[in-house]
Amino acid sequence: MTLPEVVAALAQQAVWALLLAVPVALADRALGRRLPALRWGLWNLVLLRLALPAGLSAPWGWRPWHGLGGIAAAAEAPLTIPLLAALPGGTPEAPLDRSSAIGWLVLALAWSVGAAWCGARWWHARRRHLELTRQAELVSEGRLFERAEAWRRRLGITRRIRLVVSDTTSRPFTLGVLRPVVCLPRELVDPESHDLEAVLGHEIAHVRHLDDLALRVEACLGALFWFHPATWLARRRLDHLRERLCDSAVVASGAVTKSAYARALLAQVAVSRGLDLAPPQVIPSWRDRSTRQELRERIEGALEARRRPRRILCLTACLAAAFILLPAPPRAGAAVQTPDPGSTQEPAIHWTRPVPGARLTSPFGPRRDPFTGDAAHHDGVDLGAPEGTPVVAMADGTVSVATEHDEAEPARGTLVVIDHPGGYRSLYSHLQDLEVETGQAVTAGQTIGHLGRTGAVTAPHVHVEVHHDGQPVDPAGLWAP
């Protein structure tokens, strides 16, 4: 996988995530403080879009603009860099110029620095909390241990929870998935504390929800897509909604009254305002960095919490949202509708790859001319493969040109042009030889020649163009995968 391919794939993912984040943000705002589980599921869809493969397509995928298919084509194009082409095993076909190569390298370096910084920042904070749990005092008996065990059974957790008390932290937090650890500050363990029951239940609710695992996945996606505002927004909203879900779980258990929990929440968060807290989304914790509006939502949500089973409703709603909102790239190979004067319904042209298995070495669109270095529009695509590889017709049609020397453009070398129904025309240049002649009818997949290096080329390849009513279109968006 080359640098342009990696960058194009990341760009494609960023576009789909942004298109999904906008309606999710509007839905989140419209729901207010209602249905936190549904809102949590919707924001997870945004991160899910980032985690899915760039080229993933589904029959129900939402494709807002067909033109975005060009990004998908770029993601599949293993463009070459001239600085690497000279190395053993390098691919010299249709090389980029030196300035383009430097641009790709600078872009890759900037992304790498940002990803490394985000990952290092997250890991540094997490390692600090891991060290706190190692230095803390283990609680394996007594009243505090019994209360923690009661919460574990009450919330239906079968895993053993390690409970520790620390003298060096002012905030409770939870770490671990298979072997979870709940760390409580020493001052909170005071038997006279009225907040202990609420805080203990909240932290153990994080264990039940596997929030530490979710935060690790989010940290990875955050490092990969650090440049994307939707990533930061989704992680911020998920961090808050995780706290809401734990609040609801504790109040719904009936072990703490709504008013007592709200008072404990307000008291603990008020204390945390003067503390030097860790960066958000590092660990699941009672004290998140809520804004005033989010804090008010948590307190009011705790007071309004009801024991109503919403799992099936929320799961159904999230799946429906995924069905409707989750965008997918346009599928290459979709049938192109062409007009038929003798029929009210337009027949479809079924396109195929002219060189199955070939590398897309230069895509359709703007580029720098490999010979002059000037900016120009590439009206077709270049496909690289070993010299002598068969080249086939992309669709049924009639050969209008089959020549070894094009008087108008001799740089094209050996050339074949095929006319197709509906005003389509395909062109294949730089062929090694000809297997068809002018006026011959051909079918899709029929060999018309072999890949060569005739005309003005730097390496063996075939240049393919498709025109519709005289206008060039991207061939890579037509043929089947």
CB atoms within 10 A of CB 132: 19
Q: Report whether 184 contacts 142 (CB < 8 A).
A: no
Strand 162-166 relative to strand 181-185, pairing: parallel
pLDDT tens, position by position, 430-445: 999 999 999 999 999 9
What tokens does 233 get?
A: 């927004």
- For the entire predicted model, the pTM comes to 0.57
Domain with CATH 2.70.70.10 in the chain: 348-477
Q: Which residues of the chain have pLDDT under 70?
A: 1-9, 53-101, 104, 191-194, 267-297, 299-347, 480-481
pLDDT on residue 247: 86
Strands (E), 336-378: 336-337, 348-349, 359-362, 365-368, 375-378
* Run of H or E including 451: strand 447-451
**Dist. CA 272–CA 173, nearest whole Å:** 13
pLDDT on residue 266: 72
Q: Based on C-alpha coordinates, what's the Rg of the chain?
A: 30
pLDDT on residue 414: 94
* Run of H or E including 463: strand 461-468
Conformation bin of residue 176: beta by default, left when phi > 0, alpha when psi is -120 to 50? left
**Dist. CA 447–CA 267, nearest whole Å:** 78
Q: Which amino acid is at 48?
A: L
pLDDT tens, position by position, 308-338: 545 545 665 665 555 555 554 444 444 444 4
What tokens does 130 get?
A: 């891991």
Matching residue, tokens 């770490």 = 175
Q: Report whether 16 contacts 45 (CB < 8 A).
A: no
**Dist. CA 150–CA 210, nearest whole Å:** 19
CB atoms within 10 A of CB 447: 12
Matching residue, tokens 């089973």 = 309
pLDDT on residue 205: 92
Q: Class for domain 348-477, per CATH?
A: mainly beta
